[in-house]
Amino acid sequence: MQITDTAALVTGGASGLGGATARALAAKGAQVFALDLGAAIENAEQVDGITYVEADVTDPDQVQSAVDTAAGSGAPLRVVVNCAGIGPSARILSKKGRHDLALYAKVVQINLVGTFNVLTIAAEAIAKTEPLADDARGVIINTASIAAYDGQIGQVAYASSKGGVVGLTLPAARDLASQGIRVLTIAPGLVDTPMLATVSDEFRAGLAAGVPFPKRLARPDEYAQLALSLIDHDYLNGEVVRMDGSLRMAPR
């Protein structure tokens, strides 16, 4: 599917995976609407072709407003990439007591429910566009994690939320097939994003050493490159693609 002269919506689009994807889409000629929270947008890089929209992915009204903005831009909304997410760590039982239920619910609400919220609202808008070849109308790419398969100690909430994203991929693709909308998921491994910005160089080197090949952290632009490849490949649908250097996470 061609990206030029279309509208694209990217959640978590002010930094990290979402920021890299928004820039890559804009470089390909898309009108990009990058959704994020206000604090993140204030520090975001200003790039031609990217419009930042303040929105909480868990809020249906805010997402609807953002989708309406993208769909009303004058270019057909064809691409959605869900990158918004959080990854706090907590064990089920620790010296501090049991896992906080509110924290578990918050992680699932943002990572899984937020993804579903954006997917459903955006799909409704994409379904109204004129069909292309093979009656295609667009593609939605979600973000899971290798933690969906190899969740580590302290990742019970994060792994649950990302496992849910993996699980919704195929049924969502089947649900939206009649509308000409493909649904795909990327499951990244260890990526050099703001989530890792606070750890020491020594710790980062240790993480990189555990990757079979290449022995380094992935870059956000490599996620963006993969997203563009999935958009371009019209026969890929209902699939989860791991981007992890063949890493399989140890328990800790």
Catalytic residues: 158
SS (H, E, C) the chain: CCCCCCEEEEECCCCHHHHHHHHHHHHCCCEEEEEECHHHHHCCCCCCCEEEEECCCCCHHHHHHHHHHHHCCCCCEEEEEECCCCCCCECCEECCEECCHHHHHHHHHHHHHHHHHHHHHHHHHHCCCCCCHHHCCEEEEEECCCHHHHCCCCEHHHHHHHHHHHHHHHHHHHHHHHHCEEEEEEEECCECCHHHCCCCHHHHHHHHHCCCCCCCCECHHHHHHHHHHHHHCCCCCCCEEEECCCCCCCCC
